[in-house]
């Protein structure tokens, strides 16, 4: 969990929620720095969502765990549709914003500490490229097996990722090669978020192609029922129990 001086992510969400014009700065471990679509994207209402979100959200059922809930856009929508939702994030300030916006149930913890102690769920949702929170190949398999024990017999994971190979940018291609030389997956990004004088600790964020996701899923008790594609490289996987 982020300490106060590390919670750059939550602080920028809070600042945006309270009316400040802010951007999310993402720093990669090769020195590449860019801005993300957040925080504006973290507050989008349903009618502003892309079509692949709207299609995927219809496949949610039962009790829901929202992994990496951010400002609570997914949790709030589902909650307003009558679902029982638990919003999980490792950012205290982000969860505070969720609560201020009306999210009823929240839990502060890193993804690696999730277990059936927080409950049993019918759906686990990971929108916003949050398949990336699995971090790396080995940890993804371990967590998927853990998620198996946290879900009902009809359990489903709805997870978004981004085809890391859908680029011809030489900077990104060089980063892919650098990762492979270090024994990492091409899309195993090492990142931190910066806001004003705050920065998160470095963390791994895993961006994968559809074929790589299939390989990760194998042997975990899950299978990919289908992919929902977007107009760009983003896609959502509907992952069901075998």
- Is residue 5 a part of any domain in this protein? no
- And the tokens for 241? 């129990």
Range of the domain at 230: 47-165+206-241
Q: Is 21 contained in some domain? A: no
Number of compact structural domains in the chain: 1
Q: Within a domain: residue 193? A: no
What confidence tier does 194 reach under pLDDT thresholds 50, 70, 90?
very high
In a domain, 173, yes or no: no
**What's the CATH number where 138 sits?**
3.40.50.150
Q: For residue 1, what pLDDT is reported? A: 60
pTM exceeding the 0.75 threshold for the entire prediction = yes
In the chain, what percentage of residues exceed pLDDT 90?
96
Q: Is residue 210 included in any domain, yes or no? A: yes
Is 141 inside any structural domain? yes
Residue 38, pLDDT score: 77
Any domain includes 176: no
Sign for the pseudo-dihedral over CA of 228, 173, 38, 157: positive
C-alpha distance across the termini of the chain, in Å: 32
Which H/E stretch holds residue 88? strand 85-89
- Please check whether residue 86 lies inside any domain of the structure: yes
């Amino acid at each position: 969990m982020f300490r106060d001086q590390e919670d750059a992510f939550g602080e920028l969400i809070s600042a945006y929620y309270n009316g400040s014009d802010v951007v999310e700065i993402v720093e990669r471990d090769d020195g590449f720095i860019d801005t993300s679509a957040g925080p504006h994207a973290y507050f989008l209402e349903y009618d502003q969502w892309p079509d692949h979100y709207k299609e995927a959200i219809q496949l949610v059922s039962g009790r829901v765990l929202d992994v990496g809930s951010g400002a609570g856009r997914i949790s709030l929508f589902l909650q307003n549709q009558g679902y029982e939702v638990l919003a999980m994030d490792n950012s205290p300030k982000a969860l505070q914003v969720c609560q201020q916006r009306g999210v009823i149930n929240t839990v502060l913890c890193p993804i690696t500490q999730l277990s059936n102690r927080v409950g049993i769920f019918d759906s686990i949702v990971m929108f916003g490229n949050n398949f990336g929170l699995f971090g790396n190949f080995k940890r993804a398999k371990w967590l998927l097996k853990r998620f198996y024990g946290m879900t009902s017999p009809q359990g489903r994971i709805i997870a978004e990722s981004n085809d890391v190979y859908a680029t011809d940018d030489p900077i990104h291609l060089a980063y892919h090669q650098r990762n492979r030389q270090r024994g990492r997956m091409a899309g195993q990004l090492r990142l931190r978020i910066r806001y004003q004088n705050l920065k998160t600790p470095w963390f791994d964020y895993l961006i994968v192609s559809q074929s790589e996701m299939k390989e990760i899923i194998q042997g975990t008790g899950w299978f990919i029922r289908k992919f929902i594609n977007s107009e760009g490289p983003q896609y959502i996987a509907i992952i069901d129990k075998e």
